[in-house]
Structure 1
Amino acid sequence: MAIATTAIAQQAGPPSPTPAPNSSKFLNLPENAQVFGTQMPSVIKATAIVNGDVITQTDVDQRLALLAISQGAQIPAEEIDRLRQQILRNLIDESLEIQAAKTEKIDVKTADIDRTIARVAGGVKQTPEQFAAYLENGGSSIRTIRRQIQGEIAWQRLQQRKIEVTIGDDEVKAVIDKMTAAKGTQEFRVGEIFLPSPPGEEAQTMDNANKILDQLKNGASFAGYARQYSQSSSAAVGGDLGWMRPEQLPDSIATVLRGMAPGTISNPIPNSGGVSIIAVQDTRRLLTHDPRDDVLTLKQVSIVFPKGTSRAQAEPIVSRFAEAARNVAGCGAADKLAADFHAEIVQSDGTKLRDLPSTLQNMMVPMQVGQATLPYGNLEDGVRVLVICGRDEVDPDQPSYDQVYNQLNDERVNTRARRYLRDLRRDAVIEFR
């Protein structure tokens, strides 16, 4: 499920970089494919009172259910108590953020939240009413996600009003000069989950980070956990920090990052004010051509099998399909290939090779125009081949002044936002029940 915070990041403005649109979405390619060749009852009682605002056990349980929905799986029983504690801390911070925004006369209107709900529901092809029923069936509620949206919009607007940073022209120029001098060095597409560590709670924070890491290793969504638990402003976009060079990050993180490969997740890393878990989504060479940046024109030919077709029944068809695709005479013959196998055909222009699933990227990097991939997919979604009709190389651009300026600005705003929230916690009156 697309969590609300992704849409919020698009609406409320950028404390952190927003991922580029995926140019391969029209192909509807599965990520996990083969290459052929208990709801808890809610109890209404006060769990905490934050400057007079009540957080109930129902609030905690429904937010826990929202996390389970976002993960697409039940939460292990041994994790529930720890996650409840973490969610309670998050709800306390959320209350403080909303209260601070109201103090500054920042009003998040119902219409703002409605628009975000409509976008999130549309992302899963549902109406807002259907989306509300979907959440309720999962043990959550539309109320809890509306509250989360309100908190994130309020906090982002508060940062925009209260946090001012100054970036000098000389600082931007120095970064650009360093990048030019570093041409060919490696960049990483980095995700981060940051857990703050108040004085005296370092061991507990590290223990929580290790438990989150265990869930990530067992297949939990990094972006989902970042949205729910990270205290960095990048949480709104699933922890995505964008493309980074190690020297742009704290030394403790940079040292670990340099040894990481795409698709890997770090152990918890102590750093200033807390603990970070880093994920590397991708790598590239700075200002150097990478074939995965090439833009492709594709034709996709897909065989759809009747429901109930077994692998044994499909294999002979797929074998013939693979042989025909191997001998396809360029993109112009893709239509005949589709007709011979009663297959569907879709054309996709402007598809970035980097946006395709990693299995296809590795297969297609050495391929030439007119060639087809091996059959790819599964019996449920269909088995397809991609025929390359065109391939345009993209020369890497030097980052613009505005891009560098915005990155420096985001880093400083993020640091000050953490301090601001720390001060709000310190001054709050919180009663636990």
Structure 2
Amino acid sequence: MNDRLNPSLTKVAVRANALCLALAAALMPAAHAANAPSKSEKAAAAQSASAALPANAVARVNNVTITQDELDQAVRASNAPDTPALRTALKNQLIARELFRQAAAKAHYDTRAQVVAAVEQAKTIAMTQAYLRDQVKPAPVTDADVKAKYDAIVATLGENEYKPSVIVVKDADTANKVLDQLKKGADFAQLAKQYSQGPDAAQGGALNWISFKTPIQPGNTQNWPQPLAEALVQLPQGAVSSAPVQVGDAYWILRVDQKRPTQVPQFDQAKDALRKQLEQIALEKATAQVVTDLVKNAQIQQ
């Protein structure tokens, strides 16, 4: 059985698997002479058992109802095939959770400091999320916005596109050391994994395809630093930059793994990804505006 339950249930379920097995056994009719219930307890149990469960209920624990909706939610959260065995197991876990809750409440665990703090934290998170849902209103992304973004990107593409790998280090000595090893035939990907502090170092420094309209113009470098873009377009396929390219306090070594004529995807192929990008940008912009408005009216000391 997959135990991926909802967060509030998972912690209990992980700790209570063995107890739930015992609970399942305990729910079976059995006579325990050493713990025989009194006549009053028998009468109360009989009265409780005789009362029909409310509609949409799967169990009742000391007059607290566990609903069919709760069980259905647990089944969905489990990501396991919906079978009678799964439902029985999850129902027993819900019963166990309710027993734990009632026992903890009876022992006044709700007043313990760590419980109060956890409840307050959960309340803060829920309250903040609800507030942001109401206050952050991203501008809608239209079909025209998506097409304009597509056209703008296509306009920046050059005749060729490149599949580069990079090694990024923090000092010139290390960069020259890496270049010396490359000239002696060392593997670029292994050196990237060993030395690089740049993007995708764990994957050997391999990056996605990139294209630039040449000659390189400021602002048309697909967010690459201009010196890197200029160095990249001058390299033939398979070549490594002869010297490190310094950008800020970092030193970049480039290799062109592949080079080909630029392949521009059709608009219909790109529009969904572009829409998601624009929606994320709109969300970030709207969130930043809410923060800015709150800061204007706040007194903040740091």
Q: TM-score range with shorter-chain normalisation? A: 0.3 to 0.5
**Which of the pair has more CA radius of gyration?**
2
Higher relative contact order (CA 8 A, sep 6+): 1
Q: Which structure: greater strand fraction?
A: 1
The alignment's TM-score, normalised by the length of structure 2, stands at 0.36
Q: Which structure: greater helix fraction?
A: 2
